[in-house]
Structure 1
Amino acid sequence: MSRTHPLARRSSLRAVLAMPVVVVGLMLGGCAVGPITVTSPTPEPTASTEPAAEPEPLTTVVAAVIRPESLELRDADGAVVVGVDYLAPSADAVVTLTSLLEEEATTEEFPGSGHFPPTTVHRWEGIELWEQRYVDEWADTERSLARPEFMVRLVAAEASGIDLATSDGRHVGDAWAELIAEPDIHTVASGCSGPYLDFVEVPDRHSQVTGTTMKVSVEFDPTTDEAAIGSVSAPMPVFEDACA
């Protein structure tokens, strides 16, 4: 949704002229009737019936919280104003983030491979949306959190005054050593998935084995020197044993 620019309404002035109408005296039955003055009645003022304009929902957003199933746009009380669902159309998410951040995204195209479909990356200050384009051999792919419409990647602690954080308040730039020392941190021995805290377990729709499940997480990646959190991404499937 886009912010609405105020529209200047033009109103024309109406000059209501109360022009006296003079009726020339007539002779009725030998009696002269004097001049009669008729004036237009003054209209009564009426109260405006237009309802007060409701504030646009995105104007109350102060934080974007990255979760395994959606990017939650929250207000100052922590309530979710809009949930940007990773399975919803990418175009809608781009419009929402453009409106929220009040800037147009830059884009970059990446070709597909045997592991990933072609991708269009939409970049704003501090946040990226990785749109998955399911074309050609990917056209029949069933959408799931493992194969979403798009992924979100946070690359800064804030964007256009909006706080960019995880559900437990972590930000890009926080110390990597503190994250790894967190008792609840999950690490993956295969090295195919980054460490994570926030995750959901969902049916694995792409497995050859019926009834299996998989974890989808909010994944952390370090800076090149491993001094700090370099980025936070979701939804990211967790590959416990081997890389996809």
Structure 2
Amino acid sequence: MSVTRGIGIAAVALSTVLLAACAGTSVPGQATPSATVVASDAPTPSAAPQAAGIVISTAAITVVDEAGATMSSYDYFEPTSDVVAGLTEVFGSAPKDTPFAGGGDQPPAIWHEWGGFRLVDDDYAGQAPLYPNHWVALTAASADGLQLSTLDGIALGATTSEVAANHSDVLNPWTDSDGTAHTDLWIDYRPDPTEGATVDNPVMGVWISGPTDGAVTRIVAPSRNWGP
């Protein structure tokens, strides 16, 4: 091989190496640029309010959140099927439906029950303002994790005598067959009779009952203090 030819071959080889180096990956020891992360200014969505309790009054059944704010409300004169559908969503399950044959001044009815919350759909046709399509009986202080109470926070288990002392205007003491003294009282009564609200005059309100020396065992709304 001639010297001139050898120099030419070496030059071609060196040129090939240099081109490969330029086209290759980064030089060892040199940092590789990373992708730029852009921070998002979008606010984190807050959790939706959750139902915490059901408050019953003479006017309505009200679902409230933990702060006591109204989430939904149902009156006693709208179609019972609509109320059942709404409460089914609130409780997260359909009620247990039990036929009631009637008795004790109560007409035949269907009891829609979610634990300690009973919605009673009786055979009477509703007629505002004194004859509702349905009414509520509380049989426990809570149902499926929801607290059950009146507007002023009275729940089953409250001391009857203390409740009576704070609502002494409409009282009806009575004694059952075994000699146990009971107290019935009405709160949130409406409409106000012109003669004044007493147990001897018509009152529509929330009925609370229990042994006089014990705890409240029954809360009903709306309740009349006359007739069936």
Band the TM-score falls in, shorter-chain normalisation: 0.5 to 0.7
Conserved 8 A contact 2:121-2:135: yes
Matched residue count: 170
1:145–1:154: structure 2 CA closer, same or farther, 3 Å change rule? farther
Q: Which residue of 2 aligns with 1:158?
A: 142
Q: Which residue of 1 aligns with 2:207?
A: 219
1:173–1:60: structure 2 CA closer, same or farther, 3 Å change rule? same
Residue 206 of structure 2 aligns with an amino acid whose one-letter code is V
* 2:156 matches 1:172: yes
In 1: Cα distance, 2:58 partner to 2:95 partner: 23
Q: Which residue of 2 aligns with 1:64?
A: 54
Q: Which has the larger radius of gyration?
A: 2
In 1: Cα distance, 2:157 partner to 2:173 partner: 24
Conserved 8 A contact 1:145-1:235: no
In 2: Cα distance, 1:151 partner to 1:104 partner: 18
Conserved 8 A contact 2:139-2:219: yes
In 1: Cα distance, 2:81 partner to 2:47 partner: 23
Residue 68 of structure 2 aligns with an amino acid whose one-letter code is G
- Per the TM alignment, residue 147 of structure 1 is displaced from its structure 2 partner at its CA by 1.8
- Per the TM alignment, residue 167 of structure 1 is displaced from its structure 2 partner at its CA by 1.0
Q: Deviations over 1:111-142 (max 9, x none)?
A: 357965421011111100000234xxxxxx45
Q: Which residue of 2 aligns with 1:121?
A: 111
Residue 236 of structure 1 aligns with an amino acid whose one-letter code is S
Q: Which residue of 1 aligns with 2:31?
A: none
Residue 184 of structure 2 aligns with an amino acid whose one-letter code is G
Q: Which residue of 2 aligns with 1:238?
A: 225
Calculate the TM-score normalised by the size of structure 1.
Answer: 0.60
* 2:100 matches 1:100: no
Conserved 8 A contact 1:130-1:151: yes
3-state SS, counterpart of residue 89 of structure 2: helix
Pairwise CA RMSD: 3.2
Q: Deviations over 1:182-201 (max 9, x none)?
A: 2545214799x931222120
Q: Deviations over 1:16-73 (max 9, x none)?
A: xxxxxxxxxxxxxxxxxxxxxxxxxxxxxxxxxxxxx9987xx532121110011111
In 2: Cα distance, 1:102 partner to 1:186 partner: 37
Conserved 8 A contact 1:145-1:237: no
Determine which of 127, 130, 152 is the counterpart of 1:143: 127
Calculate the TM-score normalised by the size of structure 2.
Answer: 0.63
Q: Which residue of 2 aligns with 1:36?
A: none
Conserved 8 A contact 1:86-1:145: no
In 1: Cα distance, 2:140 partner to 2:46 partner: 32
- Structure 1 window deviating more from structure 2 (110-119 vs 176-185): it is 110-119
Structure 1 gaps of 5+ residues are: 1-52, 135-140, 204-212
Determine which of 170, 181, 206 is the counterpart of 2:165: 181
In 2: Cα distance, 1:177 partner to 1:171 partner: 14
Residue 228 of structure 1 aligns with an amino acid whose one-letter code is A
In 2: Cα distance, 1:226 partner to 1:90 partner: 36
